[in-house]
Amino acid sequence: METVLSGIRPTGHLHIGNYFGAVKNFLKLQENFNSYFFIADFHSLTTHPTPKDLHANVKNVLAEYLACGLEPEKATLYIQSDVPEIPEMYLLLNMNAYIGELERTTTFKDKIRKQPDNVNAGLLTYPVLMATDILIHRANKVPVGKDQEQNLEMARKFAKRFNHMYNVDLFPEPEAFNFGKQLVKIPGLDGSGKMGKSEGNAVYLIDEPKIIEKKVMKAVTDSGPTKKNQEKPEAIQNLFTILKVVSDEDTYKFFDEKYNNCEIRYGDFKKQLAKDIINFTSPLREKILEISSNNDYLHKVVTLGAEKARESASKTLAEVRKHIGFKRF
């Protein structure tokens, strides 16, 4: 059976970009695959969270995953730092990762630009840790958003390199996965780029309806189309992209036609968008609150998850060690 794996950094709450980019596809796959979903808390250390924030964010993300419909009886749901096999394999894969190729990744270059005072070695070897996450369960499919494409390419490179170096067929080549074929990038509400936790442009699953309304009504627009069927400028296209994932087809068509006929009223359009986002998030929000208050349940889920994840990870690590040549005296 093929294996599917995905993960998220616990740096805040889940937003609708995370949901439509990664979680939604995973939920469908968990039915028929050997599936792993994890919370990448080692990865989140690159930005130096306080101990209190680290724990709170792991708990948020855990409760939010479960509220979205991740089923711990079907999928293995675990916290990365509960699996000591991961740092060991990360160390081993680091020996075959070259500084030059790591320095060239766009995510690393972005980080240098965004946080020049904190260019740590963890950032440089981020793709090696991510490849470890994937390869340690020998995953085939990795549901992620478009921003993770290059990291997946690196994971394939490290998989092939190891197989080739030791003349084995241990790792499959993992592919980034989306049911719609194309990887998704959900834009933010600020008129450009992608929705992100650090960009201040996100709608969170936990947001109260009033907050969502406020955020959407404030979203950047323009003075409206002047020519029929004109191409939508980026800020407007972004709102349509969000509408597409949260609304039904008829609603999308209705506003698309209004735009194309230069009859759109952005106030109405945004009201509808806010309403449909709220319809989508409200039931999840209630579940999140319920699950977060049940510490016993959360404890059970991650304890079982760690056990199952370690079972799989230790099998791969034993193979890796054998191929590298570690032997008992």
Instruction: Determine if 186 is a binding residue for ligand TYM (CB under 6 A).
Output: yes
Token representation of residue 15: 């937003």
| Cα–Cα dist 152/225, whole Å | 39
5: part of which helix (H) or strand (E)? Answer: strand 3-8
CA dihedral of residues 326, 159, 84, 40 (deg, nearest 10)? 170
If binding is defined by CB under 6 A, does position 176 make contact with ligand TYM?
no
Which residue(s) pair with 77 in the sheet?
37
Residue 308 CA, distance from chain mean position: 21
Could you give the string, one character per residue 48-67, with x where binding to ligand TYM holds by CB under 6 A and - elsewhere? --------------------
**CA distance linking residue 111 with residue 235, whole number of Å:** 25
Whether 24 is a known active-site residue: answer: no
Using CA atoms, how far apart are residues 206 and 221, in angstroms rounded to an integer? 25
Max Cα–Cα distance, the chain, nearest Å? 79
Q: How far apart are CA 281 and CA 78, in angstroms?
A: 24
237-296 positions binding ligand TYM, by CB under 6 A = none
Catalytic residue, candidates 24, 111, 141, 215: 111
**Closer Cβ to ligand TYM, 194 or 270, answer by number:** 194
The three-point CA angle 79-140-44 to 5° equals 30
**Does residue 316 bind ligand TYM (CB under 6 A)?**
no
Annotated catalytic residue, options 24, 141, 197, 270: 197
Among 12, 49, 72, 145, binds ligand TYM (CB under 6 A): 145
Q: Does 141 bind ligand TYM (CB under 6 A)?
A: no
Out of 22, 62, 302, 309, the only residue in the binding site for ligand TYM (CB under 6 A) is 22
Distances (CA, A) of 103 to 97, 108, 250: 11, 6, 46
Q: Which of 3, 4, 9, 37 binds ligand TYM (CB under 6 A)?
A: 9
The type of residue at 71 is E
- The residue number with the shortest CB distance to ligand TYM is 21
310 binds ligand TYM (CB under 6 A): no
Closer to ligand TYM by CB, 212 or 264: give it.
Answer: 212
Q: With binding defined as CB under 6 A, does residue 17 bind ligand TYM?
A: yes
- As measured in angstroms, the least distance from the Cβ of 147 to ligand TYM is 5
Residue list 91-110, contact with ligand TYM (CB under 6 A): none
**Could you tell me which stretch among 194-202, 205-213, 259-267, 291-299 binds ligand TYM (CB under 6 A)?**
194-202
Q: Does the annotation count 111 as an active-site position?
A: yes
List 204's β-bridge partners, or say none.
15
Active site residue 214: no
Closest among 108, 91, 79, 82 to 9, alpha carbons compared:
79
- Helix count and strand count (H, E) for the chain: 15, 5
Q: Which of 13, 24, 43, 111 binds ligand TYM (CB under 6 A)?
A: 43
Select the residue interacting with ligand TYM from 194, 215, 270, 310 (CB under 6 A): 194
Residue at 323: amino acid letter: H
Paired with 141 in beta bridges are: 4, 175
| CB closer to ligand TYM, 145 vs 191 | 145
Q: Give yes or no for residue 40 binding ligand TYM (CB under 6 A).
A: yes
Name the residue with tokens 């808390």.
41
Q: One of 109, 146, 181, 194 is an active-site residue; which one?
A: 194
Helix or strand holding residue 78 (H, E): strand 76-79
Active site residues per annotation? 111, 194, 197
Binding interface with ligand TYM (CB under 6 A) = 5-9, 17-18, 21-22, 40, 43, 130, 133-134, 142, 144-145, 147-148, 151, 184-186, 194-196
